[in-house]
Amino acid sequence: MTGIRPLEGLVVADFSRVLAGPLCTMTLADLGATVIKVERPETGDDTRSWGPPFSATGATYFESVNRNKQSIALDLQDPADAAIARDLALRADILVENFLTGGMEKLGLGYPQLSEQNPGLIYASVSGFGSAAGAQLPGYDFIVQALGGLMSITGAPEGEPMKAGVALVDVLTAKDATIAILAAVRHREQTGSGAHIEVNLLSSLQGALVNQGQAYLGAQSVAQRMGNEHPSIVPYQLLDAADGPVAVACGNDRQFARLCAELGAPELALDTKFATNAQRVAHRRELVDHLEGLLQSDTAANWQQRLTAVGVPAGKVANIAEGLAFADSLGLEPVIDVLDAHGGIVGRQVRHPATWSPPLDSPRLAPPKLGEHNQAVRSWLAAQPEDVRRG
């Protein structure tokens, strides 16, 4: 079966750095777009130096969001290099940037300046707090998690507020940006017109609060930290087994009854204090004490197997290596080899999450060295007719 590249033929000018913008453009590259990453000479993207850890080819942080791209090093303060950057932007289908508001305009690369000559340009601006009153605030994921409310609901009730274990808001923003860009591609197909898209970390975080955000808006209930407990479902949390915690998620009364039966205490499901989810929430601590007492009879791994076998969602707490191995055991093929320009394997990365039929023919090229494609990109731009404009 022939593989497909759904975005093949689209050119992306990537003026972004760190995480949200580069993850967005890597997603577009995985889907077949040609992504040309513009970087500062000598230093490049900030994350090229964010380590350890380092792989044999560079900082693993940079590598995680920059495969399948070409790199051109340009000093945007230099008139000659700025002219090349503008030429690239005028020939691009999509431009992604995360400069401070007004920064691209100062360089002659703002959307109003470019769209006059490239009316089909889809221009995505990524910021921390938007382009209005928060325009000059630095957009660091950690700060947004604090200010946006996520940290206030993460962590143990008696402990300090906690951030997520990865820069989750950057990741969410990257996905929001990608969704909006793909919608704009469809809009351009219908109308011939491009668009200016703005995404910001704060809005992406608050859009991802889902039930916790709506609890406040709909019922004036401000969520608090509950550790691994769920505010509206019990049991839906970590429970202590003989050798450590096991995650148990009973989303309905039937699953709870199966849990009780497998634990050897079917009468718990009939107890009026635990018979419905609302009652279990009201008597959370008493029920958890019962369940953890019963779980002491076996290990977390064995409970995972036993409960899963009877239709109760359960799993031991795995580390990242174990999680990838589990995904591989399910046939999900979570890891791909990445290749250098000569087709040699130079590393491994987590693949694009979607599985396609017909299969996705993703390029699988390793993240570029700084300025690796300077000559190739310059030659490509020079070969383009002066009147070629996308849109």
Alpha helices in the chain (DSSP H): 20-30, 60-63, 79-91, 103-106, 111-115, 141-148, 168-191, 201-207, 210-219, 253-262, 277-282, 284-295, 300-309, 320-329, 374-383
Coil, strand or helix at 286: helix
Q: How many other C-beta atoms lie within 10 A of the C-beta of residue 389? A: 15
**Whats the size of the chain, residue-wise?**
391
DSSP string, 25-72: HHHHHHTT-EEEEEE-TTT-SGGGG--S-B-SSSBHHHHTT-TTEEEE
| DSSP secondary structure letters along 289-321 | HHHHHHHTTS-HHHHHHHHHHTT--EEE---HH
Give the pair of three-digit tokens for residue 97: 């940037």
Residue 184's closest CA among 119, 117, 135, 132? 119
Between the alpha carbon of residue 9 and those of residues 52, 90, 95, 183, 186, the distances in Å are 36, 15, 14, 17, 14
Active-site residue identified among 78, 170, 298, 328 = 170
**Any catalytic annotation for residue 170?**
yes
Q: Tell me which residue of 15, 136, 127 sits closest to 76, measured CA to CA.
A: 15
Residues 381, 80 contacting (CB under 8 angstroms): no
Catalytic residues: 170
